[in-house]
Structure 1
Amino acid sequence: MGELLGTVDTPPRKRLRDLLSTGGPAVAPGAYDALSARLVEQAGFDIVYMTGFGTTASLIGRPDVGLLSGAEMVDNATRIVSAVDVPVIADADTGYGNAINVVRTVRAYEQAGVAGVHLEDQVMPKKCGHMSGKAVIPTDEMAGKIRAAAEARRDPDFVLIARTDAAAVHGLDDAIARARAYADAGADVLFVEAPTSEEGIETVARELRGVAPLVFNWAEGGRTPPLSLERIGELGFSLVIFPIGTLLAATVGMRSLLATVKAEGTPTSALGELPSFGEFTDLIGLPEIGELEQRFS
């Protein structure tokens, strides 16, 4: 459970590959910082998803429109990985440049300890997949970036997820054709972003079944219909991510507390709904610190 001196029996990348091969779907709630990642793990989930949307919102308080650099994203991934023992899948946006930039990006994320990344075929600067106004690069260019990513990884268990945003730009048929091309280029997992109907989701699942494991992005409030986990499994998706629910929940909680302080002058009346100081310090690992102090004193 993310201990400072903890050990794991199975390397996270191997565990991620095992989870993706079980028939799924494996569930990966989003985390935007180390604390939210610890909460995901403590809730019993086997995978943490580092959301680019949430990372941007939490680091600079701005929308996900390509404002963060690769270095900032890798830095956040490093902190998240260090806080948990479960595999972390990280948003790597467009790879932050061309195929050569992708080589460096993959190496950096791999050194950070993440179990896998997803790369998308948007034009830089990118936008959140559920926003309007996206543009995509040519299929061949993106396939070259996927080939570069596959050759760049040092660990063969490092999972490469190829995401296409073409459905909103050129239609679902083009998105499916792109996904096939990216699988041929070396992607381990395919991610067709933002189909806008259940029929579209079913088409993606049917056309890409057997090509590679598939990701379903259950974007809270986004353009894709909110299917049940059972239905997602029936369609054959191997991984479902819930990218921003933790961020939205934290926003609601902070707004409520701040409204209480503003109206009443202190947070006293809200404290009953919050973890106590002791409960929170236990949650973030203070008992382990005490044990280590005794061990090394």
Structure 2
Amino acid sequence: MVDGDTGYGNEVNVWRTVQGYARAGAAGIMIEDQLSPKRCGHTKDKQVVGFDEAVSRIRAAVAARNESTDIFILARTDAHIISYEEVIRRAKAFFAEGADAVAIEAVTTVEEMRQSRLDLGPEVPSFINVIEGGKTPALSYNELASMGYCSVAYPLTMLAAGIKAMRASLDGLHRKDRGPQTNMDFQDVCIAVGFQQYWDLAEKYVQ
């Protein structure tokens, strides 16, 4: 699943973006209704395009999928900045256009997470983003499944963990502590980056 953002232009650009990712081998793509340049859904100053343009983007994405292209279309709305009612209106319209699933971004309460699933109905597959410390409550995938969500992404988890670990290592170097406890053992690094695989091949084929 790749993030196609706004589709990078008008409906023709959305069509081309979907086709390009499908040819590259992506299993799915998310297209959203933010105004370009888009923001992270959990940060400030977001804006969305009008209802008709939002729907036409998804119509173009679905058309690209239907032209002998095997790719899953996830339609996302950030219209929570307008109203909850607009969020539901857009999500239903996206699904009616043929999106495979919908995503309501930056849902702020557990009650609204549950209510949106009820308002969309069981026939509309719903995806959700959970960013630790962001606007949406960080529920587990089991809790979200019990509400009826079909899938969940934790898009910032690895980035946040990586930044914290790198800062800890750099702090250790600054303090001349050459062996921070957070570091992976060198032999494990060799395995992780593929050195061990090449060494094994060399022993097998190189005489």
Normalised to the residue count of structure 2, the TM-score between the two structures is 0.91
> What is the CA–CA distance in structure 2 between the aligned matches of 1:183 and 1:263, rounded to whole Å?
55
**TM-fit CA distance, 1:293:** 4.7
Identify the range of structure 1 (102-111 vs 224-233) with the bigger mean alpha-carbon deviation: 224-233
1:126 corresponds in structure 2 to 38
> What is the CA–CA distance in structure 2 between the aligned matches of 1:150 and 1:289, rounded to whole Å?
43
**TM-fit CA distance, 1:231:** 2.1
**TM-fit CA distance, 1:292:** 4.6
Instruction: Give the total of aligned pairs.
Output: 205
- The runs of 5 or more residues in structure 2 that have no matched partner are none
Q: How does 1:166-245 map to 2 (within 5 A)?
A: 166-167=79-80, 169-245=81-157
**TM-fit CA distance, 1:286:** 2.5
1:112 corresponds in structure 2 to 24
Cα RMSD between the aligned structures?
1.8
1:288 corresponds in structure 2 to 197
Q: Secondary structure at the match of 1:196?
A: coil
C-alpha spacing 1:274/1:136, structure 2 compared with 1 (3 Å): same
Question: Sequence identity, in percent?
Answer: 36
**TM-fit CA distance, 1:92:** 1.0
**TM-fit CA distance, 1:296:** 6.3
* 1:146 matched to 2:58: yes
- The runs of 5 or more residues in structure 1 that have no matched partner are 1-88
Q: Deviations over 1:151-196 (max 9, x none)?
A: 21355541100000001x2111110110000011111011000111
User: Which residue of 179, 194, 202 maps to 1:269?
Assistant: 179
C-alpha spacing 1:101/1:295, structure 2 compared with 1 (3 Å): farther
C-alpha spacing 1:231/1:192, structure 2 compared with 1 (3 Å): same
Q: Is the 8 A contact 2:78 2:105 kept in 1?
A: yes
Tell me which amino acid in the other structure corresponds to 2:3. D
Q: Deviations over 1:220-249 (max 9, x none)?
A: 111112223332111100101111011111
1:137 corresponds in structure 2 to 49
> What is the CA–CA distance in structure 2 between the aligned matches of 1:155 and 1:248, rounded to whole Å?
38
Tell me which amino acid in the other structure corresponds to 2:73. L
1:278 corresponds in structure 2 to 187
Q: Deviations over 1:111-170 (max 9, x none)?
A: 222211111101111111011221111222122111211221355541100000001x21
Larger radius of gyration between Structure 1 and Structure 2: 2
1:248 corresponds in structure 2 to 160
> What is the CA–CA distance in structure 1 between the aligned matches of 2:204 and 2:8, rounded to whole Å?
44
> What is the CA–CA distance in structure 1 between the aligned matches of 2:109 and 2:186, rounded to whole Å?
45
C-alpha spacing 1:140/1:296, structure 2 compared with 1 (3 Å): farther
2:76 corresponds in structure 1 to 163
> What is the CA–CA distance in structure 2 between the aligned matches of 1:227 and 1:198, rounded to whole Å?
9
